[in-house]
Amino acid sequence: MGPSFEERFQAGKEAFEGGRYRLSVEALEEAVQLTNLGSRQGGEAQLWLVLAYQASGRLKEARTLCRKLVRHPHPDCRKNSKNVLYILEAPRLTRPKEWLTEIPDLTQTENSRPAYAAAAKSPRRPKENPSPILFEDLSRMNTRDNGFVAAALALGAALLLILGIWARVG
C-alpha cells in the first residue's frame, strides 16, 4: 500500500515551510492525486500546490490552477483562491535604481580570505582618542516656546476646578 493523502499532504506542507519548494510540489501533486478534488480537503491541497508552484517559480502553473480553484465547490476554497489569484495576477512593480544597492562579488578578488580571521588573532588595544560627542547646533533649531505646555496646564487646572465645584454641588 502506498502513502496516504495525509502523509503526502503533510510532507508537502512541511517541505514548503522549510523552503524546499521542489519537494513540496512533488509531495502536493501526489496528495492531490489521492483525494477528491471537489472536497474541502482537495481544495486545500490544491491551494497549497498553487503556493508551492509560485514559490518554485512556476507562475504559469500556479495561475492556471488557481483560476480553476476560483470555481471550487467549497466556499472557503473559492474565497482563498480569489485572494491568492489577486496576488498572483498583480502587476510587478518596478523599483527605481536608486532604491537598490548592488553588492559587489568579492570572491574573485586577490586575498579573498576573510579579514576577520586575521583580526581575531591580534590583541585588542583600547582607543587612544575617542571621537568627540557631536551635539546638534541649537542655533539652527526653532527653540522658541509655542505656549502648548502652558495652555495644557491651564486647561487641566480649569477642569480640576470645575470638577471640584461640581463634586461639592452634587
The domains of the chain are located at 5-88
Radius of gyration of the chain (CA): 32
Q: Using CA atoms, how far apart are residues 43 and 41, in angstroms rounded to an integer?
A: 5
**Residues 135-146: tens digit of each pLDDT:** 777 677 776 777
pTM for the model stands at 0.56
Cell of 25: 510540489
The CATH architecture assigned to 5-88 reads Alpha Horseshoe (1.25)
Least confident of 46-50, 122-126, 152-156: 122-126
Q: How many CA atoms lie within 13 A of 132 on its CB side?
A: 3
The dihedrals phi and psi of 166, each to the nearest 5 degrees, come to -65, -35
Q: Using CA atoms, how far apart are residues 112 and 114, in angstroms rounded to an integer?
A: 6
